[in-house]
A and B are shown apart, each in its own frame.
Chain A
Amino acid sequence: MLFAILRAALLSCPRPLLLISLAGWLGLAALQFGLGLPEYCGSLANIDLAYLANIGDRLIFVWHTSSKPAMMANWLLMLFAMMSPLLAQEVSYLWQRSLARRRPRALLLFAIAYLLIWSLAGAFIMLASLVLRLATGDMRWCFAMLLALALLWQISPAKQYCLNRCHSRPRLAAFGWQAERDSLRYGLQAAFWCGGTCWAWMLAATAAGLAHFPFMLITSAWLLIDRQAPGRVPAWQLPYSLRWYRAT
């Protein structure tokens, strides 16, 4: 059942989005296994920071010893890899309901607004992750806690509230500056609700250490499956796709 849903989602995804996603995954794989993961995303176990008394010092240390371009590259590649298939419905909606001559512009503005919000969200997630890991000390314990948090968020009414709004299709003006405004607004809105739905998984992923890459793959697949489900009344409940009787 889950596999069927995933397959259907990938088949109905516009090809360009799938290609972008694939490029993202390949780039991430290259960084992870080829060029070496920046210590930031990988295990911090090798760094003995005990001599730095407080978190502030440790943060500064990690900040100065991590490669910023690598961090940015990693983050952007991750966004392309994971987000592209999730945006199939938004992109299709924007494409079909815009004037032909405005389509590239509409998508660009949407993408810019979307990436902007996610980059801000990314900064917060990364900072939070760093602080938590440095505070906890033990990577595996930190990851376990964040995974539990992600699972808790997954079944929460708040997450369902955000996911319901991921499905929204706002008015798109056809002409003029209003059209540009509406494309930007759509991107901001989609990123905001997308962030609200997925932040906990992203946070957990940053603490996965060596399991980072496979964890992101599995999380992406799961998020894509979850995204296909219809809206529901927000409540504490198991994900739609996992209800046992749906498999009969």
Chain B
Amino acid sequence: MTFERKDVSKLGSDWSDTLVWYAKAVGKLQERPLASRTSWRFLAAMHGFNEVLWSAHGYYSSGEALPSDSDRARFWDQCQHQSWYFLPWHRGYLASFEAIVRSAVVELGGPADWALPYWNYFDPDSRSVPPAFLQKTMPDGSPNHLFVEARYGDGHGIFIIEPEDVSLNALKDHAFIGGDSGGNSGFGGPDTKFNHGRGVNGHLESDPHNTVHGLVGGLEDERHPDDRTTYGLMSIPATAALDPIFWLHHANIDRLWEVWRKRDPQNLDPTDPSWLMGPADRKFIVPDPDGEGITFTATQMLDTKAAPLNYTYQDTSDPLAGSTRKKVRLTGLRLLSDAPMVNFLENKSAGGQVATELLGANASTIKLAGGVSHTRVTLDAASADKVNNSFESVRLLSTTPKEPDRVFLNLENIRGKNDAAVFYVYVNVPNGDDPKDHPENKVGVLSLFGVSDASKTDSAHGGAGITQVFEITSIVDNLQLDESQLSDTLQVQFVARNTVKPEHDITVERVSVFRESL
């Protein structure tokens, strides 16, 4: 039997049956002890566990019985981030959770076809966290398990994802696999081993996934900086899955993977054995409703209608009417109506490492705080010329034009303490102007979800922080169209979207620009 995951805003009312049963089932799961594999907290710890943070939020008491060493080593701290495993792992994780919740729903007398709804914040009617999650009590007056105290939003009770905060640009990428050498990071992320969080963010993971985490969880301004409950549960990977909204957010991300696949035959999942059968160094494992551990690989995550997944989404139609990165670029370069495009429109593989080259970098590590921070990137003349020259065949209106270089801004090795921080990033805003008046210069939204763990050297995360890549090809294309060229500097500005303070110690080790030749 296949279950249908529906849009939470289209269930008929704020407290539809689906959410009523979800709330009750969450309550039931929360009653189970931590050591039980089908308990709320065990499932959340599979995403990440941090004794200090959990204790501060009241989810763990010192001396409480933990699961066995073996269970913790195999099940806990599994979540895959900054990796091509991000999508398949979370798919398996959600499927396990959904089955366990459904089983609890049935035990409580609810419907056997209960399925996890998804929260589509791209829908203008659904930008806010669904009301059922914001109320302390349910319609019958009993405590609402969908409500959590530690969900701060903008710090003033607003939990809205604005249109400027997120985008569907990731859907326009064709390549699933990205590189970690400065070029495009891929729809699904870079090729890694088992990766609990560090390195380069894949496109969908970054936008909208990371940003929504930070904007929903937020941080509680008034608290003392050393108070560990300063950050909302959703803000940090080690506590995110404790918030019931986590699962609806990830259902939407999972749905977007389906949307991506369906919208263009050139959008292909990887065929590499190491993705399909991996990771080689640690197996993915989740509990079934009876608590049995089931290992899984990406191979089993490819068809949502088949076992062990058995679900479909209410709506996987294309929200962008067929628009792709290449088509947008060709239109921008005013080429679409012209000669047949050789190598422009073909795409036969899932991507991978491509030829990249550093164009330039800024002079020193920079610190990001509230307001606007900025830095200047110096470009190497010879390398920048290679980019300019790649436009040759386009400029000459050749009959077999080659796609010009793509250019990427890299924010390398970002470290800090504030996972909830979100910044709008702009390139080449005219001197003196307010970046907000130049949306055409906005290259993306930077979210620091996962940064504090990634900054710790003595941990699985390695201390190298998070690296964020933004495509700035359109900026370069516009220069070409203005008959200008890529010159020797680029101005980069960071505008804080939410609360960021100097004591959060957010640093970007290096801001650099890379070209990717095609």
Contact = CB atoms under 8 A, between A and B. Distances in A.
Given A96-B182, A99-B357, A231-B461, 8 more contacts: A1-B280, A96-B356, A97-B358, A97-B412, A99-B383, A167-B463, A171-B510, A245-B70
A97 to B, nearest CB: 6
A174 B358 contact: yes
Interface of B: 70, 73-74, 181-182, 193-196, 274, 280-283, 295, 356-358, 360-361, 363, 365, 378, 380, 382-383, 412-413, 457-464, 509-510, 512
A230 B194 contact: yes
Given A8-B274, A99-B358, A231 B463 contact: yes
Contacts, number: 99
13 contacts: A1-B280, A5-B280, A97-B412, A99-B380, A100-B358, A100-B383, A168-B464, A169-B413, A173-B361, A174-B361, A175-B378, A230-B195, A231-B463
Contact of B73 (A172, A234, A245): A245
B465 to A, nearest CB: 9
The 9 closest A-B pairs by CB, nearest first: A174-B361, A96-B181, A230-B460, A231-B462, A4-B280, A171-B509, A167-B462, A169-B464, A100-B357
Contacts of A101: 380, 382-383
A248 B383 contact: no
A65 B507 CA distance: 56
Query: Mostly helix, strand, loop or mixed at chain A's interface?
Result: loop
A227 to B, nearest CB: 12
A198 B444 CA distance: 43
Interface of A: 1, 4-5, 8, 92, 96-101, 160-161, 164-165, 167-169, 171-175, 228-234, 241, 243, 245-246, 248
B70 A97 contact: no
Contact of A167 (B361, B464, B509): B464
Contacts of B413: 169, 171
Nearest to A168: B463
Given A99-B383, A164-B457, A245 B74 contact: yes
Contacts of A174: 358, 360-361, 378, 380, 512
Contacts of A241: 281
A233 to B, nearest CB: 5
B148 to A, nearest CB: 29
Nearest to B193: A228
Nearest to B357: A100
B458 A233 contact: yes
Nearest to A229: B281
